[in-house]
Amino acid sequence: MQWHCDEVEVQGTLVGEDGKEMVESLELWRRDPVECIQELLGNPAFRDEMRYEPERVYADAGAKTRVFDEM
Amino acid sequence: MILASDKTKLSQFRGDQTAWPVYLSVGNIPKARRRQISSHATLLIGYIPVSKLECFPTGDERRYATYRLYHHCMRELLKPLIQAGKSGVSMVCADGAVRNIFPILAAYVADHPEQCLVTNVQENHCPRGKIASDLRGEPRGCVLRSVDETISLLEKHRNGEIEGDLPHGLCPVYDPFWADLPHCDIYSCITPDILHQLHKGVFKDHLVTWVTALIESEELDRRFRAMSNIPGLRHFKKGISSIQQWTGTEFKEMQKAFVPLVAGAVDSRVLQVVQAIINFIYYAQLHVHTSVTLDALEHSLALFHQHKEVLIGLGVRQHFNIAKIHSMTHYVDAIRDKGCLDGFNTELFERLHIDFAKVAYRAGNRRDYIANMTKWLVRQEAVKLRIAYLDWIAIEGKEGEDQDVQASSESELEASTNEDQDPRFSTPDTPLLYSLAKRCPFPRRKLEFLEEEHEAMTFLTAFQEFVDRTWPASTHRPSRITRYNVYKQLKITQPWNSWLGNQERRHRVRAIAPVKEARSRARPTSGYFDPVLVIEDESKYQRRTQGSLDGTYLDACWVSASI
């Protein structure tokens, strides 16, 4: 997965030595989150454990006690 | 989708080298796997730039500028997710099927200052709810914030319709990154943080301080030192006031012994407060919750609020308007919404810092370090991918051979797995296991050894009784001349308890005789004999503990009478 570097310019309110407002240049390093999700969902190591749809889990047959453990 | 971020220092010696990594994981992966560093279930997706922003004057303006910088960067970082969340992206999943995936932000794991940064709230307010900053000591009244309301308030402030400070403690940062994310209720995404809020905050910074104010710290130390030495409990030999480095383990060990330690030294009403808080902390950490346990959690919190006035009466506190204590009110809702809190542990992400940030930093020449760290990470991931691929090929190759032989029984297997119960709720069939040392340290000892060294005077009569009861038809009976193999300790494997996690838990039972005379350099030590509770009548035990929650997760050592 490719890393991208974006330049972020922050313009401040304090005035610098040249009489203009100070500008700070910063770098944002990032990767595409959609690609990362693809990586995670497609990982065959998780094949048996992955859940693809939400489910409601109950502790007893009468569905009286709800269980909350995974998301 | 679960996001997390946490600023971290990269070096202890050179100042100002900080990184601010952002991590991503998905809730489809079970939390036990997400917690394992080795399973690579959490990925690093970016580094937010860290800067002192000296182009702004110190104070509110600089702080708001840092907020705005963060939100701008997060918006850039998460931009591809806006379209993906609206229209879906086809992805190949782990089981080979292709699904249309809609990534939605469901949780954001961070400590309190970052939670306030994410939700755009002043630090003395609650990030999840709208309660006024001076009313946080009350148990009720914190209504969850609403994204639509916040966005409209921000717009009005930007247009000048609202003047002065924004209500509900909001900060004037007008374009939060979550405004455009589809179906994102950022306020419910803020998850409780057990390590910082409960262990460090409520327990150490507040509860222990209150108790220390009531009984002196020397008295507390003396009580810690007086604890008996039991395997599984840490013995604070020098007391607690001299500990410099507090980590999660120290807090947990202290909590294990805290209630009995302070019982008797403080007022019984104060003890109720202590008990309520410790119960809350333990319930919050369960790996599986049911409506029953959540009610118990809520009940502990209610008990705390009911009895906390006694501390005001004793002069320990004037008010309870503390952010971390207030955060406890949101725990039950968060668990109902997002599942158990062990899936949102900040400890995991702090541990990931070591692998992703600190090791990566040290691998480079410390110049232009973020760029080097990303390059290092790409190479590491490539290597790991290759290794995982080779492992996978090896397994697939073997499975392919087996499948040719068992092609007919495949359909049978599928039918049986559908009927299998969820493993969380099936009681384990394995008998209780115990293990002893391979080589016996004291083989073939006479009865006198047991009577003198171990001071077990009634051993012979008890043993004879046991043999008569268990094997009444046996012709061999123990007598005074029978010899015994004596072991120093027994390790018992506990049955699997899904409430507490799925790791193997073992208990150690020791029977070590005291060393009286010093041999060469061995100093005389006192003996360690651990008490064991034995269940003699299984049915009576089950009946008595039915309905009481303590019976299900009490960490008592029990040995079945059949061993």
Written as one letter, the residue type at A25 is S
Q: What's the pLDDT score for residue B548? A: 42
Closest residue on chain B to A46 (Cα):
B94
Q: What's the pLDDT score for residue B429? A: 56
Closest residue on chain A to B380 (Cα):
A1
Tens digits of residue pLDDT in B237-293? 877 778 888 888 888 888 888 888 888 788 888 888 899 999 999 888 888 888 888
The pTM of this model reads 0.78
Q: What's the pLDDT score for residue B476? A: 78
In Å, how far is A11's CA from the nearest CA of chain B? 7
Q: What's the pLDDT score for residue B543? A: 66
Query: B350-359 in b/e burial notation, b at 16+ Cβ within 10 A?
Result: eebbeebbbe
Quote the CA–CA distance of B37 and B347 in Å, as a whole number: 11
Is the minimum CB–CB distance between B370 and chain A shorter than 8 Å? yes
In Å, how far is A17's CA from the nearest CA of chain B? 12
B contact residues 60-89, partner A, Cβ 8 Å cutoff: 61, 65, 69, 72-73, 76-78, 80-81, 84, 89
In Å, how far is B43's CA from the nearest CA of chain A? 7
Q: Which two tokens stand for residue A69?
A: 């453990």
Quote the CA–CA distance of B530 and B512 in Å, as a whole number: 9
Instruction: Name the residue among B33, B47, B290 with its Cβ closest to that of A67.
Output: B290
For B253, list phi and psi in degrees, rounded to 5.
-65, -40
Closest residue on chain A to B287 (Cα):
A69
Summary mean pLDDT of chain B:
79
Instruction: Dump the DSSP string for B313-365.
Output: HTTS-S----HHHHHGGGHHHHHHHH--GGGG-HHHHHHHIIIIIIHHHHHTT
Torsion of CA B529, B531, B536, B537, to 10 degrees: -160
Q: What's the pLDDT score for residue A70? A: 73
Written as one letter, the residue type at B283 is Y
How high is the mean pLDDT in each 10-residue block of chain B (563 residues)? 87 76 87 80 87 80 86 89 86 83 88 88 84 76 83 85 79 86 87 88 88 86 82 79 82 86 84 90 86 88 88 84 86 86 83 79 79 84 83 74 50 41 51 79 83 80 84 81 83 73 72 71 73 72 54 32 25
Q: What's the pLDDT score for residue B378? A: 84
For B528, the 3-state DSSP assignment is: strand
Whether B289 sits inside 8 A of A6 (CB atoms) is no
The alpha carbon of B472 is separated from its chain's Cα centroid by a whole number of angstroms, namely: 49
Is the minimum CB–CB distance between B109 and chain A shorter than 8 Å? no
Whether B55 sits inside 8 A of A13 (CB atoms) is yes
CB contacts of A19 in chain B (<8 Å) are: none
B contact residues 336-355, partner A, Cβ 8 Å cutoff: 336, 338-340, 343
Cα within 13 Å of Cα(B403), Cβ side: 7
A contact residues 19-58, partner B, Cβ 8 Å cutoff: 21-24, 26-34, 36-47, 49-52, 57
SS (H, E, C) B178-243: HHCCCCCCHHHHECCCHHHHHHHHHHHHHHHHHHHHHCCHHHHHHHHHCCCCCCCCCCCCCCCCCC
A-B C-beta contacts closer than 8 Å:
179
Q: What's the pLDDT score for residue A63? A: 65
CA nearest B300: which of B327, B271, B280?
A: B280
